[in-house]
Structure formats: C-alpha cells, structure tokens
Chain A
Amino acid sequence: MAQVVLRGINKFYDTVHAVKDVNLQIRDKEFVVFVGPSGCGKTTTLRMIAGLEQISGGDVSIDGQVVNDLAPMDRDIAMVFQNYALYPHMSVFDNMAFGLKMRKFDKKEITQRVKEAAEILGIGDYLLRKPRQLSGGQRQRVALGRAIVRHPKVFLFDEPLSNLDAKLRVQMRVELKKLHQRLGTTAVYVTHDQVEAMTLGDRVVVMKDGVVQQVGDPLELYNRPANKFVAGFIGSPAMNFANVTVADGNGRLTAKNAGLEIEIPGTQGERLRAHLGRELMLGIRPEDLHIARAGDPAGLTFNSRVEVVEKLGSEILLDVRVGEDSMVAAVDPATQAKAQDQLRLAVNPERLHFFDARTEAAV
C-alpha cells in the first residue's frame, strides 16, 4: 500500500516531447485511470512509474521514496500488460511463481500464495496448463494472478482489457473492480476506453498530446469538463458542439447561431455576460436533448431535420441537422421518427456547456 507522487514528469524522445510536466498525487489505495487517445503519453507515463522508461525530467516517488534511479525490480510494483506477456514456456503455476522465485521466497510460501491468487481469480484448475492452452480471458486472469501473488505496493495496468472481446471485457472490468476493492492496493490503470476509465477509476486523468487536461472523479469530468477536449472525450455518444454568439435579447442572454437561439438561464447567464458579443462554443450532451413537449419554454427549443435514426433498443439516437451543425440526440425509445422528419428539440437548461472558441477552455 502506498501513495505514488508524480512531480513535474517530462519525457523526451529525441526531439519529441511525449509527456509534458505531469503533476499528480495518487493516494494510498486509490484506483487512478489515465485515459486519452493513442499517442497522448498515458502509457509512457505508466512506463516511467514502472521504471521501463527513463524519466527525462521530474520525480516519481512511491511510498515517499524517489524511485527515478531504481530498477523496475526494486520499485515493488507489479504490471499487467496489454498482450498479457505470459511466459509461453512455463505453466500457469510457474508463470505466477516466477516473481516470487526471483525474490527467493521459500517453496511453501510460493505454493501457498499462488494457490491463494488462483483461488481468487478462479484459475485453480489450470495451474498445470501452458498459456497457449488457455482462452484470452483465462490468460488475462493469469496475468493478473502473476501481479497479485507478489503483494506489491502498486499495481500498474497497461490497457489490460483491450485484447478481449467486448462481452468478456465488460465482465473482466467488473472483476477488476471487485479485485481492487478486495485487495485495496494502489492501482494505476491506462486505457483509451472512456467507459473503462469512468467505471473503474476513483479518479480519472484525461491526457492529450502529453498534457494532463483534467483530473477528477468520473462524474466531475462528465458534469464539469475543464475544456472542449475532455467534454468531447468523456461520454458516449460524444457531446455536440456548435459555434454560437452570445447576444443580449431584452435583458436575457442568448446563445445564437444560424440554426438555433437558446436562452441562457440565470446564474450561468450572469457569468457569460463578460463574453457578450463574442463567439463561444456551445456543448450539449446528446442525453440532454429531448423532443420538445408542449410545456417546454420556447427559448429552450430549436428546429432540426432528422438525417439518420439509430435504434439501440434502450434509446434512439437521432442524427440531426441544426442550421449548419450536426448534432446527435438520445431520445426516448418510443419515439416515432424517421429520416427527413422536421423535429423541434428542447434542451435541458441546467446542462449547457460553454467553451472559449480559441482556447477551448470551459467558461
């Protein structure tokens, strides 16, 4: 059990600045997820914590000790790799026991720990098999087992679920969460899948181009994204964006463009008064749109033309055209709508997001 602290971490590959000044304090027993598109520096950051990459600048400390110059084996961490990295010539038992053997544990202790881990993961029956005789899910469990037998201070996960099929991924996700609740070991998890990030993480770190965009608990990221990138990355289907101008209509502020004019409610309106006459980016999540009902105030509705109807069962996604913008609306599954229909959509006024058109930061 330990806290991990990253202080001004940088990574250069020749001239490429892959990780830029990352500061993060991971608390003891916390499950922190790094998420971002490929090439955003999340895996590099993880590998620097593991000691598999040199740190170009800054400090990593585990449990109060700066580990920059410690070899991976001396950092008391365990890592689970995307391709499992099981030793193909060893049985499941030997795979799990390898780390303990290297650390000169005695045989009885090794057997006991491996059996215990196998029990937790439900792979007790496969201990004598070779990795190639196992399915993808079983291999992933062995890889997890290999990490947990060591009782390390920190678990590092590098996209451990991305080689599994969709159904198994969901199942393993739940098991990982349970495992973490049971063991309580500090965990750092890297993924490009925002659903994995939201469901697993106590806190989520969103990265882009080597820069941390926002750190927060999953709902904080969803409700109050710090910038347009986080807003678009977290949530599925992704948030709709439209360029709007803030205008003053008889004392009430409106966000206006060729296709819509939405009244900005009270407190938010006051905040946006400073941006009067300026161009902003309006963000509306698909789930915050619905088909306008009789009671909806006129200032919160706008016209749209349906282009595609996607029936998912639990909801219907409408790809609509609003003026010059494309938007997606997640509406009630009972909705009868077809392509080319003219629909009036209404927006939930509490849930409007505004971003600076140039800096893309939330305003």
Chain B
Amino acid sequence: MIEGAKWRKWVFFYLPMAFFLLFLLFPFYWMIITSFRPDGELYRPWNSVNYNPFWTTKPTLEHVKYLFEETLFSAWLWNTTFIALVSTAISLICGVFAGYALSRLNFPFAGGLGTGIFITYLVPQTLLFIPLAEIIRNYNLGDTPWSLILTYPTFLIPFCTWLMMGYFKAVPKELEECARIDGASRWQAMLYIIIPVAIPGILSAGIFAFTLSWNEFIYALVFLSSPAQKTVPVGVTSELIRGDVFFWGPLMAGALLGSIPVAVVYSFFVEHYVSGLTGSVKG
C-alpha cells in the first residue's frame, strides 16, 4: 500500500469487511444469544424498562435442558448423524468410482454420461420428492431412516461424481501409467496411487456431502412422520413451533446444537478441504 493512503485502506477494505462480517455473523450471534436468554427476557415488550435485545444479564441453560428433557432432541441428533454418515459413505463410494471411470476410462459416451449425471443434479428436490415419495411408499420405507439414506444419494452421488471427476482429471495421467509399467493392474494403480493422491478431493466431497445431508429439510419433512424418527432440522421446526407459537429459546438452542457438528467437521478438515478445492497435487 502506498504511503499516505491509509484512509483508502479503511474506506475500501476495513469498513466493507466489517460490514460484511457483521452481516454474516449477526444471525449466528442472534442464535447464540437467544439460546441462553431466559424466557422472561425473550418475551418482554420492546418498551419495557432496561430493554436490550442484544445482550443478556441472566444467561441460562434452561432451553438446552428443555430440549433434551422435554423433546426427542437426542434421538433427532442420532438420526441425523446416522443418516448423514451412511448416505455420505454410499455417495462417496459411488462418486469416487464413477468419477474415476468418467474421467479416466475412455469408453464410448463417457462425456455424454458425465453431462447426464450433472443434469440429474439440476432437477430440483422440490420436484423430485413427489415421485420419490411414491417409491418410498411402494417399498414401505416411509418413516424409517432408510427412506432418507436411500434418497439423499439422488443428489449426493451426482455432486460427488462431478467433484471427483474434476479432481481425477487434475491428477497427472503419467502417475497411473508409471504405476502400470511398474507392474500394477488398473485396479491396483487406482487403489495404491490414484485414490491416495485424491484424498483431499475425497475429503472435500465427503464434507460437502455430509453437510448437505445434515442440513437437508424437504425429504426429511415429507418421508418422516413420527417424532422419534425425525432429523434435527425437521424435528426442531416441527416440534418447537406449535401452530403459531414459536418456542424461540429451545428452537435456537436446537439450531445451535445442530450446527456444531458441521462446524467441527469443517474446522477439523479445513486444511485438507482447502487444498482439495484448489486441487493441488504436489509432485
């Protein structure tokens, strides 16, 4: 930065940045603060004495307690984790193999097939749930975790396949050729060379898939009905909004606890994840 242009940095960098951060982080702040405010403060009229919507003087864990004792939140957490993990695993396995095949094996129509898979990803879930509901009903899978474990891959597999296709294309072809000259079969070359090199890509596909299925709402809302089977996003919104009454405290506490696992997954893998996105294969 040029000497004497400090104000420029403030006007064009720090201020917009601060505004942007505020804009992004405020909902999270609101969620956290609401989770820990007693009901007395939450439902106070705006013109009462000492009214302060942005801070609390009496933080409380009553909403969290309510969540675990009065609702099936722990069951929802378990359901969500189980469904997200299994559907991510299925999608990753299919996505890695499909991505490898589409990017590396020169079979006829590979290009068309790749585009076809991408197009299935473009079909909106809000349309797809109608025929899927019919299928789920025919196979008597309604109201079981399997209704989601088997339907989430409809959007996760195309997603993982495309991400992995791009990643495999960035892995130099010579690595595989060299392995094959070294005495590896195509299968061994993939297993020992290509997949280990593609780990960052696989991790980022996994994280994305996990997050997508963790946050999924519409299929979970349609295919699950009994409270004990629900996932966090559906459970929280359907059981803590009764009619037009919003249980803001537990609702926000539920949202907070529901977003923590995703946050942990992200921060845990962030290094791999970033290098996965930039597709760097250091050779």
B283 touches A85 (CB 8 A): yes
Chain A, residue nearest B186 (CB): A71
Size class of the A contact interface (CB-based, 8 Å) = 20 to 34
| A126 interfacial by beta-carbon distance below 8 Å | no
A87 touches B174 (CB 8 A): no
**Mask: chain B, 171-187; 1 = CB below 8 Å from A; 0 = not:** 01011011111111100
Chain A, residue nearest B182 (CB): A99
Query: In the complex, A81→B175 CA distance in Å?
Result: 9
A77 contact from B172, B181, B199, Cβ within 8 A: B181
Q: Which of B152-209 contact A (CB under 8 A)?
A: 172, 174-175, 177-185, 188, 192-193, 196-197, 199
| B277 interfacial by beta-carbon distance below 8 Å | no
Query: In the complex, A86→B199 CA distance in Å?
Result: 17
A87 touches B175 (CB 8 A): yes
Query: In the complex, A150→B283 CA distance in Å?
Result: 22
Taking the nearest CB of chain B, how far is it from the CB of A10, in angstroms? 20
**Mask: chain A, 86-101; 1 = CB below 8 Å from B; 0 = not:** 1111000000001100
A88 touches B281 (CB 8 A): yes
Q: Which of B234-283 contact A (CB under 8 A)?
A: 281-283
Chain B, residue nearest A156 (CB): B181
Chain B, residue nearest A143 (CB): B178
A102 contact from B172, B183, B281, Cβ within 8 A: B183
B181 touches A78 (CB 8 A): yes
A73 contact from B174, B184, B196, B281, Cβ within 8 A: B184
| A103 interfacial by beta-carbon distance below 8 Å | yes
Taking the nearest CB of chain A, how far is it from the CB of B46, in angstroms? 60
Contacts of A102 in B (CB 8 A): 179, 182-184, 188
Known: A86-B283, A102-B188, A131-B283. A73 touches B182 (CB 8 A): yes
A87 contact from B177, B183, B197, Cβ within 8 A: B197
B182 touches A89 (CB 8 A): no
A88 touches B182 (CB 8 A): no
B282 touches A88 (CB 8 A): yes
Query: In the complex, A72→B176 CA distance in Å?
Result: 11
Contacts of B185 in A (CB 8 A): 73
B283 touches A50 (CB 8 A): no
B178 contact from A71, A79, A103, A132, Cβ within 8 A: A79
**Mask: chain A, 134-177; 1 = CB below 8 Å from B; 0 = not:** 00000100000010001000000000000000000000000000
Chain B, residue nearest A150 (CB): B182
Contacts of B196 in A (CB 8 A): 87, 89
A72 touches B181 (CB 8 A): yes
Closest 6 interchain pairs by CB?
A: A99-B182, A102-B183, A85-B174, A132-B282, A85-B178, A73-B183
25 contacts between A and B (CB under 8 A): A50-B177, A52-B181, A71-B180, A72-B177, A72-B181, A73-B180, A73-B181, A73-B182, A73-B185, A77-B181, A79-B177, A81-B174, A83-B174, A85-B283, A86-B283, A87-B178, A87-B197, A88-B282, A98-B184, A102-B182, A102-B183, A103-B183, A131-B283, A146-B178, A150-B182
Q: Identify the B interface with A (CB < 8 A).
A: 172, 174-175, 177-185, 188, 192-193, 196-197, 199, 281-283
Q: Identify the A interface with B (CB < 8 A).
A: 50-52, 71-73, 77-79, 81-89, 98-99, 102-103, 131-132, 139, 146, 150
Interface contacts beyond A52-B180, A84-B283: sample of 4 additional A-B pairs, CB < 8 Å, sorted by A:
A78-B181, A81-B178, A85-B174, A87-B175
